[in-house]
Amino acid sequence: MIKTERLHLWALERHDLGKNYQWANDMELTRLAGSLPLPKAMGELEAWYNNLQTNPEQRVLAIKLHDGAYIGNIELRDLDLRCANAELGIIIGEANYRGHGYGSEAVRAMCDFAFRQLRLHRLSVHVLEENERALKMFQKCGFILEGVQRQAFFQEGRYWNVRALSLLEDEYRPLPTQPTLSEED
Ligand SMILES: CC(C)(COP(=O)(O)OP(=O)(O)OC[C@H]1O[C@@H](n2cnc3c(N)ncnc32)[C@H](O)[C@@H]1OP(=O)(O)O)[C@@H](O)C(=O)NCCC(=O)NCCS
C-alpha cells in the first residue's frame, strides 16, 4: 500500500471488481482512455483479476481516498525488469473526481514507487491525441512528449493519433513529501 497526502493506492481486491465492471462499460471513459485494459463482461473481469495475482508484468493498484472511496485504478504494465521499463496507465473512473488533482497525485506516487522501489529506468505512457487533460496531467508530472504515433489506435470506426510520452529516472524529481510504502498489502 502506498499512502499520499489524500490517497491510498492498494493492490486491487476481488470486491473492487464491481466498480471495474461499471468503468469498463462506461462509454465516455473507454473513449477517453482508448486502450482501457478492462474486459467488459464480469466473467472476463474475474479471469483478468485472477491472472493479475500471478502476472509479474502487470501491477494494478486501486486509487482510494483516505475515507475509502474507490475512484480509479493506476497500473504498470509490460513491466520488464531486465530493461527496467514499464508502461503506466491510469483511469479516474468516477467522473466527479476528475480534475481535482487526484490523477497527478496518483501518478507521482506511482513514479516514486517505480523509480525508487522497483529501480526502473523508464516509464512510458500513450495518450489519445484528443485527450488534452491526460496530456496536461502527465506533462505536469514531468513526462516528456516524444512524438505522435499516426493513426495508431482504432475505435468508433476510425483511426486515432496517439501521443507517446516518457519519463526517465534521472528526470524524475522526488516529491517534497514522499509517499509512504507499507507492507500491509
Ligand atoms: C486523465 C486523468 C487520469 C487525469 O486525472 P485528473 O485527476 O482528472 O487530473 P488532474 O486534476 O491531476 O490534472 C488535470 C490537469 O489538466 C487540466 N485540464 C483539464 N481539462 C483540460 C482540457 N480540456 N485541456 C487541457 N487541460 C485540461 C487541469 O486544469 C489540470 O491541470 P492543472 O492542475 O494545472 O490545473 C483523468 O481525468 C481520467 O481518468 N480521465 C479519463 C480516462 C483517461 O483519460 N485516462 C488516461 C488515459 S492515458
Q: Is 18 in the pocket of ligand 1 (CB under 6 A)?
A: no
Question: What does DSSP assign to residue 15?
Answer: G
One-letter amino acid at 68 equals G
Length of the chain: 185
Q: How far is the CA of 137 from the centre of ligand 1 (A)?
A: 5
- Tell me, using a 6 A CB cutoff, whether residue 137 lines ligand 1: yes
pLDDT of residue 36: 64
Enter the C-alpha cell of residue 176: 517534497
Distances (CA, A) of 180 to 46, 73, 136: 30, 18, 26
CATH number of the domain that residue 82 is part of: 3.40.630.30
Give the chain's domain count. 1
24 CA from centroid of ligand 1 (Å): 19
- By the 10 Å C-beta count (0-12 exposed, 13-18 middle, 19+ buried), 138 is classed as buried
40 in the Ramachandran plot: left (φ > 0), alpha (ψ -120 to 50) or beta?
alpha
- How do residues 49-62 score in pLDDT, each as one tens digit? 999 999 999 999 99
Rounded CA-CA distance 139/96 in Å is: 22
> Does the pLDDT value for residue 174 go beyond 90?
no
* pLDDT tens string 16-27: 999 999 999 999
* Structural domain of 174: 2-181
The residue among 104, 87, 101 whose CA lies nearest residue 142 is 104
